[in-house]
Amino acid sequence: MVLETPKYNLDKYPEVYDPREDTFLFLDALEADTMFLLNLKPKIAVEIGSGSGIVITGLAFILQKSCLYFSTDINYQACLATKNSASLNNVSVECSNMDLLTGFNHNMFDIILFNPPYVVTDSEEISGNGLNCAWAGGVNGREIIDKLLCNISELLTSKGVCYMVLLKENKPEEVVNVMSRFNFNSEIVLQRKIPGEHLYIYKFFRINQ
Ligand SMILES: C[S@@+](CC[C@H](N)C(=O)[O-])C[C@H]1O[C@@H](n2cnc3c(N)ncnc32)[C@H](O)[C@@H]1O
């Protein structure tokens, strides 16, 4: 299927991450993986750090009403922007203002999407809950990513998969190793070089699935 870019409007949400190459690569990866996503028959999907909300909305374009859609963001304005995008595109997304997925039950999600703050920065730059949270990733750009990795297995259902944006500087091969310790296989769904960044969309799925 051809995945249309969902409508969005951030005029009222100046502190929210404006979709850019990483966001559009993520949408392209979901489009490329449409058959896999449909065959998975997911019941509950979530996007962590939904920002404008166009990625979870794009997933809803693919899976339609067969699935429930949640999102979280540490930035309250992003939660409002996500609700607004969902409404502009006539889809339903429940958005919660929280850190990662800390408020959710175990083994709940068939799909987790995450375009994390991945830029290599000093650890001190990860502070507050405004626009800097959208990009500041601390050491190796991995501080927020690493907080999630050890919980992915507990959050996903037995058939669950996680899609994640990673940058070359994030040392994706180390992330792949960590996930293999939790019995996950990894696949690069798409990658793209843009000026100054080599971006990947990784998919993590359980080895026995
Ligand atoms: C790179 S932006 C991606 C935004 C959007 N998903 C996209 O693809 O355009 C990262 C998003 O993660 C959010 N974020 C950062 N740290 C977070 C955390 N600990 N928990 C939840 N959301 C977080 C930011 O506020 C921001 O909206």
Classify residue 132 by burial, with Cβ atoms within 10 Å: 0-12, 13-18, 19+. Answer: middle
Please tell me the residue having the least CA distance from ligand 1 atom 14: 49
Instruction: Say yes or no: CB of residue 19 within 6 Å of ligand 1.
Output: yes
Instruction: Say yes or no: CB of residue 144 within 6 Å of ligand 1.
Output: yes
Reported as a single tens digit per residue, the pLDDT across 85-113 is 999 999 999 999 999 999 898 999 999 99
Q: Phi and psi for 195 in degrees, rounded to 5?
A: -55, 120
Instruction: Say yes or no: CB of residue 48 within 6 Å of ligand 1.
Output: yes
Compute the distance from residue 80 Cα to the ligand 1 centre, in Å. Answer: 13
Q: What's the rounded mean pLDDT across residues 11-24?
A: 98
Compute the distance from residue 1 Cα to the ligand 1 centre, in Å. Answer: 27
Measured from the Cα of 113, ligand 1's closest atom is: 6
Average pLDDT, the chain: 97
Compute the distance from residue 24 Cα to the ligand 1 centre, in Å. Answer: 15
Q: Which two tokens stand for residue 77?
A: 């304005």
Cα(13)–Cα(103) distance, rounded to whole angstroms? Answer: 24
Cα(160)–Cα(150) distance, rounded to whole angstroms? Answer: 15
Q: Is the pLDDT of residue 33 over 80?
A: yes
Which CATH class, in words, describes the domain spanning 21-206?
alpha beta
pTM listed for this prediction? 0.98
**Domain spans of the chain, in order of start:** 21-206
Reported as a single tens digit per residue, the pLDDT across 42-96 is 999 999 999 999 999 999 999 999 999 999 999 999 999 999 999 999 999 999 9
Number of H helices, E strands in the chain: 6, 7
Q: Is the pLDDT of residue 209 over 80?
A: no
Q: What is the ipTM of this complex?
A: 0.99
Instruction: Say yes or no: CB of residue 162 within 6 Å of ligand 1.
Output: no
